Each structure stands twice: as structure tokens, then as C-alpha cells.
Chains A and B, each alone.
Chain A
């Protein structure tokens, strides 16, 4: 572990500097936006993403707490540009300023991951999901999810977000959105290619397995 400490610290230092904007983000302003919305039309984030940023499994609203700030900011940008087809999110974020985006992203990134109880899933489905997640399905050209999303799917950086402990409903919906071409903001089209090679059952399986994984290393 120790031999990488310098490297990891350097990576963390780099992550707090995001295009110069998040570096000067204002957490208080971000919290206010999340709690109350903005005067130019953005509704309060907490209405759907929860007071603790934990999201809403039943509705498929993702957990935002503890995600990478640059990743969150980039997703908001994608909603504004149409690279993430999302009829719900697009109008909400349309009126946000660059500063608003940086602040709210930094706020959610600063939150601890709340405890969540994943929806129960069939054991066979979970085992299938684990195999895909940790080993892939190379017969169809699908690499293991953890090859990019990191150990246990707990994320690497702003390009490879954590998926462990995220709601299965949300994860499955995103895989289907990539597959259908409705979400197009993945670097190099990496997710599109993978999603197109997954069956419906495989999508449900990996989504369920990652939803059951701890969001942080033991």
C-alpha cells in the first residue's frame, strides 16, 4: 500500500483541480442550490436525489453523494448538451451557471455515502452479475466491468465512476440508454460498445450485483 501513497495523493490532488472551476467551488452555495434550487428555474436537487444525496431506488434516481465532482459536473453538462437524453434532468439544469454546476458538484462530492439497502435479488442473477463484473464475457467481447471501474466497482477517476452501491434501477437504465444510443457521453464510446453486447438479463445481473457491493473499501 505504502509504495503507492505518493501516487494516490498526487491523483487526489489532481482531482480537486477540475478545469480550474471546482477548485474554487463554494460548498455552501452548492448546498443551498441542492436544498432550495435556483432562482432561474432549477428545482431543488434534494426533491429527487434525497436530503442526503442517496437518490431513490424505486424511481431510479441515482445516488450523488460521494461521486467525483468532475464526473458530476460533466454529467450536468451532458444533460445540457443532449448527450444524456433525459427529459427530467434537461430542463432542471438548463438555467444553471458554470459556477452553479461547479458548486453543486463539489457539494455532492463532499457528502458521505449514506447507508442503503439494495433491493433483494435472485442468487443466480447475482452470481451471473458477479461473473460479468469481475471476469466479463469475452465470448461476446465484453471485458470485466472492474477492469475500468476499479476494484469492486468503486471507481477510479472522473472518467470511470464508482458503480458499487449505486441503485440497480439506475445502473440498468443507464446501460439500456447507452445501448439505445440515448446516452452518448462516454469516453471513446467505451460504454456504448459494452452495453450493445449485453443481453437484457446480463444488464439486470450486473446492475443487481453492483447495487449489492459496498460503496467503499472495507
Chain B
């Protein structure tokens, strides 16, 4: 169990709930904002200063073998299902191009920034702990311990990707670049329309993803096989940025900012596995760990969103 945030933060969370209500209110208080331009300028391909090494440069020998093993886990994480993961996700679903792509949380921009204090955990996390967090939340599983081959493999791969990256320097393309706030607030129904038009063909009408030969080809976006309520991607701002830059796959930048915000709201207004930090008190979990950028604890279609266990 992690320490609960200060009372001030809890109160801020409560105050933010009011903000959410206003964001989600479909009746604009002001005269309606003009509709967004038909096509905002597409996001230019990131021209990052840093380029990770080509895979042909992975060295021979035990270290190179570990790098390749880590890369294979990164690409096909589902092989760990039932061991360390409990859902249908792969690292590469969000960290595109095997963790190499700028603005899709590239690994080379992460390695240089740890150890670091994180508000999420209220402590200084090492890279190992950061990855363990991915297993707990994004993969809805258990943390492979330090000393495990899985953690060593992933760390070796990430370290190798970051060859020659400057330690302690925040590199361009890190994480998911923030989007400007949504001009028209966010709207579930508008998001649903975007989802049906642009997302459902791959991710399924019910966000269920698509399976071939026993493993997920397109990842599930909600439900018991998706990321849980503690994963970064459950945040509407994070998901909106990822979607804006990268979705539909191969067509990053094609949605307007507003569409990205709306569809992120729609996707993240569905049930998914519980927040593992929840000790059974939803309100306390909401106050401690969830802010205005998510729908945890909100009522959607007559149901309070707080996590559903897989069957």
C-alpha cells in the first residue's frame, strides 16, 4: 500500500470533480464556441535530436542476447500472461515501434530521467520500479522482481536503446506531448461518434480488440483484458495525446485536438480492471489517486466506474 496523499491533495481532487462536471456538461454556459477548423495542421513528424541505434548494432554475446530477449518481451508481452501480466496488452501497443517512436513514450527518453521522484508513488523510483509499475497497472499484473530475467531483459533493451543518450537530459519526444485544453470541453457522445468512425474497425465496436490465433492483434481498449484504473493511459489527457499523435495507426495527427479529447473521454469512460491501490474504499482511492483527468468514481450509464474483475 502506498501512502495516501495529503488532505490538501484530496480536497483538490474533490474540487476537481466539480471541474469534471463542468467539462462534461454538454450545455455551454457561454455562447457556443465556433466549430473547430475542419482540419488542424497535422502533427509534423517529430524531428528529434536523438535516434536510438539500429537493431543490427545489438552486440553478440550474453548482453546482446538479453537485449533481444527484452525486445521480444516488449513486442510480445502477452507471452507473460498468467505469469506477470493479466491482460491482453503488449508494451508496443502504446510504446510504438518497439519503444523507439518519439511522442509514443519512447524508451530512450525515459531511461535518462530515472531515478526520479514521482507524484504517482510519492517517492523516488528507479527505472526498475518504473517498469514494475507498468506491470502492475498497464499490464494489470504483478511486478517481476529485481533479479528476474524478465526485468533484466526489459532493462537491458531500454538501456541499449538509450545508447549515447545524455543522462539527466529531457529529450524531445519524451512521453506523450501535452495537447492544448479542449476548446469545447469534452463530450462523451461526440467521442462515441469519433470512436465508431475511426477506431471500431480495429479495436471492435465494444472496445474488445481483436484476437487471431489466440493472441490479441488489436489491443482491447476497455474491459477486463485492457489496462487497469491505475495505468497512465486511463487518464483522459494522456490518452488524448497518445491518440492525437499516433491514431489511427499510421495516421497520427489526422484527428483534430477536439476529436482526440472527445474519443479519449469516451474510451476512458468504460469499465476496466480495478485500481490495484484500492483497498476497498472507492472514495478514498478516488481522492488519493485520481484527479480531474479521469472518470474513476464517476457515474456513467447508471454505473459508478471503479473497476471490474475479469471473469
- A residues adjacent to B (C-beta < 8 A): 1, 3-4, 7-8, 11, 135-136, 138, 141-143, 146-148, 150-151, 154-157, 159-160, 187-190, 193-194, 217
Contacts and interface: CB of A to CB of B under 8 A. Distances in A.
The 7 closest A-B pairs by CB, nearest first: A150-B212, A138-B97, A1-B214, A187-B201, A156-B212, A4-B214, A150-B217
A138 to B, nearest CB: 4
A42 to B, nearest CB: 30
7 contacts: A4-B211, A141-B250, A142-B250, A156-B217, A187-B201, A188-B248, A190-B249
Contacts of A143: 96, 249-250
A190 B198 CA distance: 10
Interface residues of B, number: 24
Nearest to A187: B201
Given A148-B218, A188-B198, 7 more contacts: A11-B211, A138-B101, A141-B252, A150-B213, A154-B212, A190-B248, A194-B250
Contact of A148 (B81, B215, B249): B249
Nearest to A140: B45
B251 interface: yes
A154 B82 CA distance: 26
Contacts of B198: 188
Interface of B: 45, 81-82, 96-98, 100-101, 198, 201-202, 210-215, 217-218, 248-252
Given A141-B45, A154-B212, A187-B201, A148 B217 contact: yes
Contact of B100 (A138, A150, A188): A138
B74 to A, nearest CB: 12
Contacts of B100: 138
A216 to B, nearest CB: 10
A150 B218 CA distance: 9
Contacts of A193: 250-251
A136 B97 contact: yes
Contacts of B213: 150-151, 154, 217
A138 B96 contact: yes
A190 B218 CA distance: 14
